[in-house]
Structure 1
Amino acid sequence: MDLLLISVVLVSIFLPPLLLRTLAPHLWTDLLYLRDLVRILVSYWGWRRRRPPFFVLDRFLEQSAARPHKAFMVFGAESFSFSDTDRRSNQVSRALQAQPGYRPGDTVALFMGNEPAFVFSWLALAKLGSPVALLNSNIRSRSLLHCFSCCRASVLIAAEDLKEAVEDVLPSLMDQGVSVLLMSKHSDTPGIQSFWDQIEEASDAPIPRSLRSHVTFKSPAVYIYTSGTTGLPKAAVVNQNRLLTALAVLSTYGVTSEDVKYVNLPLYHTAGFLVGLIGSVQTGSTMVLKRKFSASQFWDDCRKYNVTVVQYIGEVMRYLCSTPKKDNDRDHRVRLAIGNGVRAEIWREFLHRFGNIRILEFYASTEGNIGFLNFTGKIGAVGRVHFFHKMFFPFTLVKYDTERDEPMRDSDGLCIESAKGETGLLVSKITEIAPFEGYAQNEQQTEKKKLRNVLRKGDVYFNTGDLMRIDEDNFIYFQDRVGDTFRWKGENVATTEVADILSISECLQEANVYGVQVPGHEGRVGMAAVTLKKDEEFDGSKIYNHVVNYLPSYARPRFIRIQSAVEVTATFKQMKVKLVEQGFDPGSIHDPLYILDDGAKSYVPLSAQSFASIGSGRMKL
């Protein structure tokens, strides 16, 4: 009897957890996510109810008062406490107020890379109630003028090392009556005024709140520009409410005031600005600011500054994994990596090589109204579909016709939802809680991102332009960008999938996959621009066997172009448009070109004769 009683007790203790683990393996993590979602909403609405209105700047002022002597920003050998940063931004504010061409509330454009002056200037302008356009420090001439014009700024503040770029467009700026301020102590160019000397002479007394009393939650806070992989960049409007939302979300990422965060991504883009800068404002953590990403210096910097949290985006992790292996690869204090765009194979390789680091992968876009967080750590996923998340931020995946480059619709003109496991276009309903602010001075592109009559007549969704897939366990995976996926032989080819396969071959370092048009053929045929690993030569036979083993015939790249480097944007997004336009003509491309030859079971050099045969239709692909 006693034995039976003990058995019943043991079963009652251990059976429910086992059943839960079998029937609902993600219940616990789902509950933890629900807790975080509630925390986000409570924080957000708590801030929204405060009077006077509470903005991100006010959070910085709170941190400055609470921990004035704590290091907020480290740049090389320089260190700036919260208090130092506050006072220096006050000086920038007062120096700017003295400019005859500026009034508090005017839009100002910042044209600088990662440096303390960027942070001082942004805080200074926030104190004056001025929207800030974050210009990409790599753009020049026509693109620079275009981006500047988008935000209708009255003042341009530029870094000293960008003086020549400013001089190239100075006549146009002067014609518009723009005040140009250079972060230097001296300027010998008429029309460009030195500004740093004025900042050093200015008072660091606090800035009156009355100067920003006109700011509301709907007021533009910053303009962040798209990377411009196609056409000219667009200025996404990020208002004060969106920044406050980001502040609430970032509070659940697991970063604390004790952390040291390594920020090497551009502050003028979303990842560097929001996750890097705004994240440190929220948590009170120290931000180690790096001028630009360097794979060779990354871990040395982490050791030098005792970094505990790092950021990544796009190909950053691939670059880190491609560096020569060292005995001290695991000798660091990094515990958390926050970012997006890491592929499953690189994720595994990164953990295997650099140790037990938590990878916090998320999905979001600068202008988008939907985001996901991979709170479970599922390798390869960008997040997990959660009932409460979907209740507050309605979204769905709809079937997409890659040939027509538009969503598929039924006889009633409504979009067709994708089934579980099927790739579809991610669209998110535009609501008061999940708004879409659009692009500055660009109603056409703003309207283009709106998808109407999706599930019901009259509804409006934000078109992310991203193809996603949801598996049977409700994990969501990024598949490809619309326009990157192409159709060949009646099948859809996902460029990222093909690029992943090519990148794990013996001799290839990186691969940028795209589709090119061929005369007499429907759709687009696959082509890859690749780089070689150090001291490796291109082996056509090995690459042929590799793609045959891993890819179906329609997905195998017919052409391979060898480059010295894969061209990417400042946030490491691969540039495809120019490559697509150049096609595969050996007469106009100086890089080595190869064509897949099934007869030779190899990739062989593409000759002018072969190119002519393809064009005339004598050679079929």
Structure 2
Amino acid sequence: MGWYPEILNGSVRRVVATAQNGLEVMRLGGLETEAQPSEFRVVEREPMYRLRRYFADETADLARPPIVLVPPMMMSADVYDVTQEQGAVGVLHRMGLDPWVVDFGSPATEAGGWDRTLADHILAIDDIIDRVHAHTGRDVHLAGYSQGGMFCYQAAAYRQCRNIASLITFGAPVDTLAALPFGIPGDIAAPAADFLADHVFTRLSIAGWMARTGFQLLDPVKTAKSRLDFLRQLHDREALLPREQQRRFLATEGWVAWSGPAVAELLKQFVVHNRMMSGGFVIGDRMVTLAELTCPILAFVGEVDDIGQPVAVRGIRKAAPKAEIFESTLRAGHFGLVVGSHAASHTWPTTGEWVRWRDGLGPRPASVEEMSCVEQPADETGVSVSDRILHTGASIAEVGVGIARGVLDVTAQTVRGTRELSAEAARALPRLARLGQIQMQTTISMGRLLAEAGAKSPNAECFLFDDRAHTNAAVNTRIDNVVRGLIVSGIRPAARVGVLMETRPSALTAIAALSRLGAVAALLPPTEELAEAVRLSGVGTVICDPDNLAAAESLGIRVLVLGGGESRLLNTEPDSGTIDLEQIEPSEVRLPAWYQPNPGRANELAFILFGRSGGRMEAKRVTNYRWALSAFGTATAANLGRGDTVYSIAPLYHSSVLLATLGGAIAGGARIALSRGLDPERFEAEVHRYGVTVVAYTWTMMRELVDNPDFGLAGAHSIRLFVGSGMPVGLWQRTMKRFAPAQVLEFYASTEGAVVLANVSGAKPGSKGRPLPGSTPVRIAAFDPIAGTYLEDEHGLVRECGPGEVGLLLGQATSTESLNGAQRGVFAAGDAWVPTEHLFRRDGDGDYWMMDDRVTVVRAARGPVFNQPIVDALGRLDQVDVSLAYSVPIGTEELSAVAVRLLPGASLTAVDLADAFAELGSGQRPDLVHVRADIPISNSYRLRRTEIRTAGLPKPGPRSWYYDAETDKYRRLTRAMVTELTARGSAALTG
């Protein structure tokens, strides 16, 4: 029994050692290791940061490549120096590098710290790069851990990689919604983050202990296991000491507070809107995209990282298509990437080797390989359940957590569709309800909706232009200032004022200011018909920009000048009476008693737009209700929300821009991105930089991109939808192919009246779809397009067309349409309907197809021939670019003709024509078909008939055909046939 005292002595020693070590932990927060931090000097000190240079006395040698290490917002800068032997700065210094560390401090102890924004951190890093470059004379290797890596990506993109030798990130997520921590579904996390950003972190910041506790709760099993292991070994000081500094750092010392505004901005831009992937995040007021990164990138990927998950980290491959991107993987969790034995043996040596390789001082690291762009299923995060189990020692508790997550993943997949539909309904129902509440006297206008957006979200971006973001608050302030200038200049409610401006912020401001004042904005096209537009609209004053000043003064009416930049010269005529609105000081303007902001009522005239019908310019009058209908209808059909950026490349005076693009974006709370015009190079840059999700088009506009061999949208793009009207069928299909998986949403909207159709599903290219919810009911009236009269039934009422029958489209008159001359007693006694200018048919599914404009129908001897079905049929041929159907007068009759432009290198045969027109009845096939090198196009990208029609019969030749009704074939058009047709027309005229 002599071994009892020995066992007893061992147990006593263990108890005593445990008590002594435990007391030390309680008193000091941990065991005393006697380890000293690495020596550093604070080289730069600013309110936002202190810049540490480690081993400063030894790194004066300019041969050492500088590397700047950026910590996450929530962690101390000491994360890179937890232990001198195993920490980042020590390892990198020993490898011949010059390590610098950014110390943001804690908002709790820094002056103004609680007010720090995300942009403050990015701008601080931007400044630090300049300073390190100035100190060393060398380009900088910029490295960041977790959120610090996100900062590095953003800062590099902000400065377009200037003076950056390479980027290195450790567990830094890019595609945040692809893989949120622990498989949280993005469609749950995004709304939650949106709520927190808007309603919590605007009022609350996160203390250091809250950050620590939150991260520990992200993996409670691992946290509990590490604490249990520590307690079990508390008696063995020698076993604990090597990991003690790491334990103390992660358990207590390494966490700092987060400022509320910075967290809110982080959630809003990079969780809710995922703009690291899509582009369009805002630093200060500048638009930034990772697509502009061009420097080499190395991303460290933790195979069992459940916070910076592999799929999210590898998102950089798609987000930065122009950069050379590499990765290095290791079996480590999020913290293990930078702290501990794995970091000491893999992360930091590999980082040092990478820097030396990029600076030409050594070979490429063996553990670094090019990052490939591998698509993974939507439910895959890159961290398997088996990896998690192995990494944590196969604890039963964690197996249970893994299984539970798997069940949740399956459930999330099952109900995702329901959630998406619910989210769409949640956005759509308030818009439709508001439309239903609009009566004649309801105040509704563009100015009012902009004011509401400013009151609700003053700091949200309203519109983007020339790489700058303008907030709702700034936009509304500018509008109110211009209103004061207009009042001083004598503009009163209901006054008609022309707007003659290029696409620029001041043009949008002028239109909105007139709306806020209650005046009528006539959007004048800067064409040779400018004087005619002024006459038709009855305007007495024109607002212009300096570029259009000469044209405005030539009209002989009063001119107001707005915008054009700070440095501008106005070449005004002496005594012209031109007023420079920029010279009026808003604060000195006393508002008159009659002024009431946003007085516009639903039934009042809001805008005058211009279009062409039958070769003549026409003024189209748009009420506030008509504008609101299109705005809310577009927002609903396109499912626009705050995460969208709607990109307009058409001029502001185009009707679809005012009604659908601007209107839909404002009503949906989306950002508006304005462009100076359609240019392929600019389009690519701005789509990435603005994070464009919806592109607005008109007519054949997309040809400039889709059919341009030099155009390429590098890497992944964020476009989900093209919205507009008039896109030809063939171009529609080419657009979807070129920009897959984006879809096309084609609208039809009567400018006067309340008819709005939309092909929401996109399943039938060429169809105008169905009436939007909230828009007026529509019917197709039986109509004789030759005589221009309705066809009546036996009761003397207008007959409604059945499926497949062509007639005139009518919209039921609403209570807000007193200005539009509704026709009464159409389908029933006392009813009221507003006719459109277009002929339609409805198919068996209820979808509407436009057949023609009522004034362009071909009046052939065999009866009316409709132009649109001919164009649609040709558009389905792969070799056809665009086509234009029109009439050729032959005596008192007309022939149906179609001009065709082919895609480069394509050819067209008579057999192709027979195939294309096979589904058209013989009476609806064109008499003449000819290929042209080009077809005239208007400023709004609409094909122009007038020039081709006045040229008469097509020239005979191998690329011109006529339809032989007797043989039901197309034959080559010969000179003899042209002579015969000409003679037939002359005989008809003389007869």
- Code of the residue aligned with 1:393 in structure 2: it is T
**What is residue 321 of structure 2 aligned with on the other side?**
none
- Give distance in 2, aligned partners of 1:478 and 1:330: 37
The 1:374–1:231 alpha-carbon spacing in structure 2 relative to 1, beyond 3 Å, is closer
SS of alignment partner, residue 42 of structure 1: helix
CA displacement at 1:563 relative to structure 2: 4.9
Q: Given the alignment, which residue of 419, 424, 427 partners 2:807?
A: 424
Q: Given the alignment, which residue of 943, 947, 952 partners 1:574?
A: 943
**What is residue 505 of structure 2 aligned with on the other side?**
116
The answer on 1:238 being equivalent to 2:622 is yes
The 5 Å alignment of 1:461-472 reads 461-472=833-844
SS of alignment partner, residue 642 of structure 2: coil
The answer on 1:513 being equivalent to 2:895 is no
The 1:146–1:330 alpha-carbon spacing in structure 2 relative to 1, beyond 3 Å, is same
The 5 Å alignment of 1:183-194 reads 183=563, 185-190=569-574, 191=576, 193=578
CA contact (8 A) 1:470 1:477 kept: yes
The 1:45–1:394 alpha-carbon spacing in structure 2 relative to 1, beyond 3 Å, is closer
- Give distance in 2, aligned partners of 1:214 and 1:504: 47
Which shows bigger deviation, 553-562 or 571-580?
553-562
Segments of structure 1 that go 5 or more residues without pairing to the other structure are 1-28, 439-446
Q: For each residue in 1:311-331, what CA deviation from the matched residue of structure 2 results, as whole angstroms up to 9, or x when unmatched?
A: 123223455432227664773
The 5 Å alignment of 1:460-539 reads 460-488=832-860, 490-505=862-877, 508-519=880-891, 523-534=893-904
- Give distance in 2, aligned partners of 1:80 and 1:423: 48
- Give distance in 2, aligned partners of 1:103 and 1:578: 42
Q: Given the alignment, which residue of 766, 773, 796 partners 1:413?
A: 796
**What is residue 462 of structure 2 aligned with on the other side?**
72
**What is residue 82 of structure 1 aligned with on the other side?**
472
The 1:592–1:106 alpha-carbon spacing in structure 2 relative to 1, beyond 3 Å, is farther
- Code of the residue aligned with 1:323 in structure 2: it is N
CA displacement at 1:416 relative to structure 2: 2.0
Name the TM-score, length of structure 1 as normaliser: 0.77
The 5 Å alignment of 1:116-515 reads 116-138=505-527, 140=528, 143-170=529-556, 173=557, 178-181=558-561, 183=563, 185-190=569-574, 191=576, 193=578, 195=580, 197-198=582-583, 201-203=585-587, 211-212=595-596, 215-218=599-602, 220-252=604-636, 253-294=638-679, 297-324=682-709, 328=713, 331-380=716-765, 381-384=767-770, 393-432=776-815, 435=817, 437-438=819-820, 450-488=822-860, 490-505=862-877, 508-515=880-887
Aligned length: 556
**What is residue 434 of structure 2 aligned with on the other side?**
43
Segments of structure 2 that go 5 or more residues without pairing to the other structure are 1-419
Q: For each residue in 1:487-541, what CA deviation from the matched residue of structure 2 results, as whole angstroms up to 9, or x when unmatched?
A: 4352543212222333455665321111222137xx42112233343466xx6xx
- Give distance in 1, aligned partners of 2:440 and 2:795: 43
- Give distance in 1, aligned partners of 2:814 and 2:972: 53
Higher relative contact order (CA 8 A, sep 6+): 1
CA contact (8 A) 2:482 2:513 kept: yes
CA displacement at 1:134 relative to structure 2: 1.5
Which shows bigger deviation, 321-330 or 229-238?
321-330
CA displacement at 1:76 relative to structure 2: 1.8
Greater share of helix:
2
- Give distance in 2, aligned partners of 1:600 and 1:468: 27
- Give distance in 2, aligned partners of 1:413 and 1:35: 45
Name the TM-score, length of structure 2 as normaliser: 0.50
CA contact (8 A) 1:266 1:273 kept: no
CA displacement at 1:272 relative to structure 2: 0.7
**What is residue 22 of structure 1 aligned with on the other side?**
none
**What is residue 6 of structure 1 aligned with on the other side?**
none
**What is residue 912 of structure 2 aligned with on the other side?**
546
SS of alignment partner, residue 665 of structure 2: helix
SS of alignment partner, residue 837 of structure 2: strand
Q: Given the alignment, which residue of 477, 481, 496 partners 1:91?
A: 481
The 1:225–1:268 alpha-carbon spacing in structure 2 relative to 1, beyond 3 Å, is same
CA contact (8 A) 2:722 2:744 kept: yes
SS of alignment partner, residue 316 of structure 1: coil
Q: For each residue in 1:132-172, what CA deviation from the matched residue of structure 2 results, as whole angstroms up to 9, or x when unmatched?
A: 2111223x3xx3233223443332111222234234433xx
- Give distance in 2, aligned partners of 1:218 and 1:50: 6
- Code of the residue aligned with 2:819 in structure 1: it is E
- Give distance in 2, aligned partners of 1:30 and 1:517: 53
SS of alignment partner, residue 884 of structure 2: strand
The 1:262–1:436 alpha-carbon spacing in structure 2 relative to 1, beyond 3 Å, is farther
CA contact (8 A) 1:489 1:554 kept: no
Aligned residues: CA RMSD: 4.0
SS of alignment partner, residue 362 of structure 1: strand
CA contact (8 A) 1:336 1:360 kept: yes
- Give distance in 1, aligned partners of 2:493 and 2:776: 36
- Code of the residue aligned with 2:898 in structure 1: it is A
Q: For each residue in 1:214-264, what CA deviation from the matched residue of structure 2 results, as whole angstroms up to 9, or x when unmatched?
A: 935156453232312435433333233333444443442311112111011
Larger radius of gyration: 2
CA contact (8 A) 1:529 1:563 kept: yes
CA contact (8 A) 2:769 2:848 kept: yes
- Code of the residue aligned with 2:461 in structure 1: it is A
- Give distance in 1, aligned partners of 2:757 and 2:426: 15
- Give distance in 2, aligned partners of 1:49 and 1:423: 33
SS of alignment partner, residue 664 of structure 2: helix
SS of alignment partner, residue 376 of structure 1: coil
Q: For each residue in 1:543-577, what CA deviation from the matched residue of structure 2 results, as whole angstroms up to 9, or x when unmatched?
A: 33322333255444444565554233443333324
SS of alignment partner, residue 531 of structure 2: helix
- Code of the residue aligned with 1:462 in structure 2: it is V
SS of alignment partner, residue 498 of structure 2: strand
CA contact (8 A) 1:398 1:416 kept: yes
- Give distance in 2, aligned partners of 1:65 and 1:564: 54
CA displacement at 1:183 relative to structure 2: 4.9
CA displacement at 1:466 relative to structure 2: 1.8
CA contact (8 A) 1:592 1:605 kept: no
CA contact (8 A) 1:224 1:269 kept: no
- Give distance in 2, aligned partners of 1:214 and 1:161: 29
- Code of the residue aligned with 1:226 in structure 2: it is F
Q: Given the alignment, which residue of 59, 69, 72 partners 2:449?
A: 59
CA displacement at 1:347 relative to structure 2: 3.1
